[in-house]
């Protein structure tokens, strides 16, 4: 059990140290039926959203060199 706690703590520390900052995707409220997704799928959604945001920022900062 101690090894498990240690490995989980190490995993948490390594991901927070090396990861870029995450932003929660925008949401909209609705009054209709909304299917519930699992926490794992929500984490995946947030990850994909943030990767798209980082790509958008990189593309904004990229310039084309007309001489290459």
9-51 tens-digit pLDDT? 656 555 554 556 666 666 666 666 667 788 898 889 889 999 9
Better pLDDT: 26 or 59 = 59
The pLDDT value recorded for residue 2 is: 67
The answer on pLDDT for 58 being more than 80 is: yes
Radius of gyration of the chain (CA): 18
The answer on pLDDT for 55 being more than 90 is: yes
Within 8 A by CB and 6+ apart from 25, the residues are 45, 46, 49
The pLDDT value recorded for residue 66 is: 77
């Amino acid at each position: 059990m101690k090894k498990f706690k240690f490995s989980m703590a190490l995993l948490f520390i390594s991901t927070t140290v090396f990861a870029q900052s995450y932003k929660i995707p925008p949401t909209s409220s609705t009054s209709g039926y909304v299917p519930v997704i699992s926490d794992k799928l929500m984490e995946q959604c947030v990850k994909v959203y943030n990767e798209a945001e980082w790509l958008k920022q990189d593309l904004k900062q990229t310039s084309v060199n007309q001489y290459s």
